[in-house]
Chain A
Amino acid sequence: MATFWIILTAILVSSACAILGCFLILRRMALVGDAISHAVLPGIAIAFLWSGSRDSLWMLLGATVFGLLTVFFIQSLQAGGLSSDASIGIVFTALFAVGVILISLNAQHIDLDLDCVLFGEIAYVQWDTLTLGGTDVGPRAVWMLGITLLVILVVIGLFYKQFKLCAFDPALAAACGIPVVLFHYLLMGLVSMTSVASFESVGSILVVGMLIVPAATAYLLTDRLGKMILYSVLAGAVSSVGGYLMAYALDASIAGCMVAVAGILFVLALLLSPKHGIVFRYARRKFAAR
């Protein structure tokens, strides 16, 4: 049963991340996901200190607020003439520093392990269960992540056309009267929500890895957004299952192994993709030369 819950949690995380990651890759904002998942730390710490409990709802709220703040700060610095990479670097390191300071100063009051934030303890997912009306309904993380995934599916499903246009051609989208900024914040809000929902159970490496790597793999395999999302989710799911098996065989970090398998899939796509892969492109060039 433990295996089932762990793999289910991982697939929920990777699917949520894989869908959002496609839009991030297309908008060339791959590292914004990395920045957000680090910058939500003070939000989590403040929610802890304020509510005095590990209640997930407060953490979700605190972290989402800080995720949106991060995006806002990055946007303002960019509007002030700074390049996007420098704005991201300045904002997320400052916020992460605030988070680390808050946690170290209140170490006695906060039961929040910094290591845990990074690696997460996906192996313990099954012990932290949710009880509804006296009956045990399964791990809390599965519920949190399931709801997050549902929200993502609903939002992206409702506004698929708008998100698509914003991803490929923001200028055209703006000309068509789509509120580009609103959709930008909506996407970033979803990214913050996902990174927080995953934080407690799987740690930030898995989130950042699943946001970028499967989507990049899918980007190498297809030119259509719909297919890209599908491939990305598939790559995430394969990484989850493969990573679990690898972690079991090696007796090592589950989240780390999942990201490593995602990396292997990416390298395979990089070499062997029929259209964009290095091997086939090289072969085609040789063939054309003859």
Chain B
Amino acid sequence: MWNWIAAILSDPNTRWILLGCLLLGFSSGIIGSFTFLRRQSLMGDTLAHAALPGICIAFMLTETKSVGLFLFGALVAGIVATFGISWITRYSRIKQDAAMGIVLTVFFGIGVVMLTRIQHGASGSQSGLDKYLFGQAASMVMTDVYVMGGVCLVLLIACLAWFKEFKLVSFDPGFARGMGLPVGMLEQLILLLTVIAVVAGIQAVGVVLVAALLVTPAAAARCWTDSLSLMVLLAGVFGALSGATGTIFSTLVPNLPTGPVTVLAATVLFAGSALLAPRRGLLARRLRSMQAKSAYLREEHATLQTLSAQRAQQERGEL
């Protein structure tokens, strides 16, 4: 087992991909914990789809395929999308889930229109663009890993610096507002960090699956602990583990894409956690309810026995 891991690691290209996926999993796990607690887990999916027109505009304006530029376009589109969602929910009777769905589909539709415009256009060399739909971790190079490392660092520093504020906003926004915290701004900041994580992830795992990196590790971590700091750390570790598993399996099996395997690894981690976690897991809960039931039955049995003994005594006394 160690032999083939060593063999994989000896390939410098694979090493970069592995490192990139590790960093990606770690940072999205961390920021995902906050969106999970704020019940905005599907924000990742929405923002990933909404980033498409940004990428296309960046390409249309410059006619060059540079990763940094695409990320910038995606970032701008993502920020516009978050404002659109909060605007629709604030000024109309549309609820948040529908607002997210509207922004997701309309932005993505506009993005597809632009994508086909580019494909039909004269420049024609759009071959790099469609990689953003399904992701292509195998095409990651050293500079991409540097970008991801930078993203990961920014997310970590931001989460550490505003940990207390994020915690309050996630658990009790009303109380946070009462304490005089700028709740609206902090909420927008969490969304901004989510956009950054999403944009970094799109290239590796693609538009649809980037959502999973934000939700699944966080949900898995939630099963194990009630402490936020521990949960954030666990979610990061789960994310990193999934990223590593995805890379290793996809290098072993030909034609196996990295992104989906990463997502499935995260899902397996979640399923394991949901079953086996000591307090919130399914097995533990089943066991507890069985114990409670048998304890109750035992008690019931004991009471019945004493009752019948008393009854017998009474009857004997009367006789």
Residues on A lying within 8 angstroms of B by beta carbon are: 25, 28-31, 33-34, 38, 77, 80-83, 85-86, 88-90, 93-94, 96-98, 100-101, 104-105, 107, 114-115, 118-119, 205, 208-209, 211-213, 216, 219-220, 247, 250-253, 255-260, 262-263, 266, 270, 276, 278
Contacts and interface: CB of A to CB of B under 8 A. Distances in A.
B117 to A, nearest CB: 5
Contacts of B105: 34, 205, 208-209, 212-213, 259, 262-263
Given A25-B98, A80-B274, A85-B97, A98 B260 contact: yes
Contacts of A115: 130, 133
A38 B130 CA distance: 18
A249 B18 CA distance: 45
B113 A256 contact: yes
Nearest to B108: A205
Q: Which 7 A-B pairs rank lowest in CB-CB distance, beginning with the nearest?
A: A259-B109, A263-B106, A93-B212, A256-B112, A97-B260, A89-B215, A209-B105
Interface of B: 36, 39-42, 44-45, 88, 91-95, 97-98, 100-102, 104-106, 108-117, 120, 130, 133-134, 208-209, 211-212, 214-216, 218-219, 253, 255-257, 259-261, 263-264, 267, 270, 274, 280, 282
Contacts, number: 194
B244 to A, nearest CB: 16
A223 to B, nearest CB: 10
A266 B267 contact: no
Nearest to B104: A34
Given A104-B260, A252-B114, 12 more contacts: A31-B101, A88-B41, A89-B44, A93-B208, A93-B263, A94-B212, A97-B212, A97-B267, A213-B105, A256-B112, A263-B102, A270-B91
27 contacts: A30-B95, A30-B100, A33-B101, A86-B218, A89-B45, A89-B214, A90-B215, A93-B209, A94-B212, A94-B267, A96-B209, A97-B209, A97-B263, A104-B256, A104-B257, A105-B256, A115-B130, A118-B112, A209-B106, A220-B93, A251-B117, A253-B113, A256-B110, A262-B105, A262-B109, A263-B110, A270-B92
Contact of B134 (A34, A105, A114, A259): A114
